[in-house]
Amino acid sequence: MILKPSMFKYTLLIGLGFYSLTAFSQEEEQIPTEETQGKLGEIEVIRDYKPILADAVKIRQSPDLTNNRKYFSKPNYNIFDKKLDINTGTHRLEIQQVPPSRPDILTNNYAKIGVGNFNTLLGEVYISNGEDEALQVGGFIKHLSQKGSDFEGQNFGEQKIGLFGRSILEKITLNGEVGFNRYATRYYGFVPTLPDLNPDPIKQHYNDIYIKGELNSNHEDNEELLSYSLKADGYLFGNAFSAKENSFALSGNINKKVNAFNVGANISGDFTNVKSQDLSLGNHIARVNPYIRFQGKNYKITLGAALVSEFGGDETRNNIFPAVDVDFALVPEYASLYAGVKGDAVKTSYRSLANENPFLSETPFIDTTNNTLVVRNMLEKLNVFGGIKGNAGATLGYKIGVFYKQLSDVPLYAINPNNPTRYDIIYDRDEKNTVFGFEGDINLRISEAFSLGGNLLFNEYDMKNEAEAWFIPKLRVAANTRINISKKVYIDGELFFNDAMKAKSYNKFVGITTGDPNAPVTVSMPAFVDISAGIEYRATKQIGVYVRGNNLLSNNYERFLYYPRLGFNVIGGVNVSF
């Protein structure tokens, strides 16, 4: 190795440091003297150069972990559920789980098959290009079907297929997905007082074709740069009859740092058309949310307003809501206080309602009194919230908060007065409806082998026109855990508690023979607990065998009145990673 004169002085200083602290057992070297130091043009080193710093010159300053950047572009991941969903209706609350420990060998693809009681059949395949973070391309396909034995027509079927992609370029990140979902069942509702009411349940299915894409500016060290994002979503949704909903939504964000604060705006437009029989109705919502954000080392204050316009339907409404958020680090990195005041128009979507309750009428939203379509968005006139959130290292994350809302046009499920196996959408239009509640989330990871997550939501509704908030429980609790017993054995479990609910029925359906048979009556639905658990044995690094049990307590509960859910069911099979 030849050292040029420009590098000589640095080499000499390092060499002197080594010589003063360490004696080498290699052959003797000639050390430049004061006389010869300025005359030498080059030095030939006859051994490998191995720099070693003494303790005295090592850096002792600890890194400042609180010096965080103030803006990061929000990443988006395509993560797909790999666990069995038996459609028990208990998946309304989604818990952000701590990811399990990674397997010894990372794989890009997997396939799963399984069979069980109730004629359960499961098949699932997921394929991607690899672990290149800059480019992700893949697809998935899933089939799940079941057939109950207690009630005629108690059938369920679900199919999903999709393609996704993600590309990180120099200045932007692109995400996209296109897919098709199908869910099929029958109107198998069973009324105990009228056992012969529904001898041949009618088939129902929902088709959902969707496409979505997102563009985000990549994070730059220079905070003075303009950050932006753009997102587009569209879908075609329809049932087995004439009901359809088509929607296209476009939203964007722009943010610029100016001196000590950020100025930005969120802009969105949601354009939806609902069709049923020969009727059609538009349900469009446009939003503009300008804001200014003050941000310091331990605080962030956002002040703004939301201008929301609803148009295209039988009503046109324009509202201005506050948009205020405050976040203060009570104990930096461990606990932060948050609070805010806001409002919005929440879209009433046939797609989202049918995903929660597939037993809606064949022609929803039709007002039979005047043969018109009626779609009303819920208005959150006021939403005040606050709480505390934070973490304790890498093992514990939590969030606890309370909220108070003033609502109008609250959509609720109600049994059709002429057919108890069908559900209609009704609205409590009073502007003084309120709901008070609190919520909590916790994620605990004790070790690489054990993780625990939980979510709690409590609601106390005060409805003005309707007697109750139909089919909305006051309390929901969900919990999950995963335990890695060894490198080959994994156990996971889930618990869901749904508090008692109130349902709106009629005298003629509950066996009341006195008075008006069409008079409404409140039916109490008991609380229920649904517990599921599974175990997987990894026979090899690529092949695993699993067994999963659902509704382990075999509770004969109802999420919606007159629609009993499946009892204890089990499924087992094989999954292969490749």
Eight-state DSSP code of residue 153: T
- The per-residue pLDDT for 371 is 86
| Nearest of 457, 411, 459 to residue 435 by alpha carbon | 459
- Count of all residues that appear for the chain in the document: 578
Average pLDDT score over residue span 72-86: 37
User: Would the pLDDT of 103 be above 50?
Assistant: no
> Does the pLDDT of residue 475 top 90, yes or no?
yes
| pLDDT in the model for residue 442 | 94
Q: Specify the 3-state DSSP secondary structure of 369.
A: coil
C-alpha to C-alpha distances, 388 to 403, 451, 516, nearest whole angstrom: 12, 22, 51
Range scoring the smallest mean pLDDT among 87-96, 260-269, 562-571: 87-96
Can you tell me whether residue 356 is helix, strand or coil?
A: helix
Which pLDDT belongs to residue 220? 57
Query: pTM (2 decimals)?
Result: 0.80
Check residue 105 and give its pLDDT: 55
Q: What are phi and psi of 102, to 5 degrees?
A: -75, 145
Span 270-297, average pLDDT: 95
Lowest mean per-residue pLDDT among 41-55, 144-158, 240-254, 520-534? 41-55
Residue 455, strand partner residues: 441, 478
The predicted model gives 416-423 an average pLDDT of 95
C-alpha angle 500-505-507 in degrees, rounded to nearest 5: 125
pLDDT score recorded for residue 222: 60
Contact indicator for 359, 423 with CB cutoff of 8 Å:
yes
Residue 117 structure tokens: 């009681």
pLDDT digits (tens, 9 = 90+) for 166-224: 999 988 999 999 999 999 999 999 999 999 999 999 999 999 999 999 999 986 556 66
pLDDT (mean) for 135-149? 95
The architecture in CATH of the region 110-577 reads: Beta Barrel (2.40)
Please tell me which of 1-10, 85-94, 325-334, 341-350 the model is most confident about, judged by mean pLDDT. Answer: 341-350
Instruction: Among 32-41, 220-229, 290-299, 301-310, name the most confident range.
Output: 301-310
- Taking CA atoms, 68 is separated from 264, 293, 297, 391, in Å, by 21, 17, 8, 16
Q: Which burial class, exposed, middle or buried, applies to 23 when counting CB atoms under 10 A from its CB (0-12, 13-18, 19+)?
A: exposed
Q: Please count the other Cβ atoms lying within 10 Å of the Cβ belonging to residue 131.
A: 9
Domain range annotation of the chain: 5-57, 110-577
Residues above pLDDT 70, as percent of the chain: 81
- Position 148 scores a pLDDT of 92
Residue 13 reports pLDDT greater than 60: no
Q: What is the mean pLDDT of the chain?
A: 85
Has residue 19 got a pLDDT over 50?
no
Question: What is the Cα–Cα distance from 435 to 412, expressed in whole angstroms?
Answer: 14
**How much is the pLDDT for 525?**
97
252: which strand partners?
230, 267
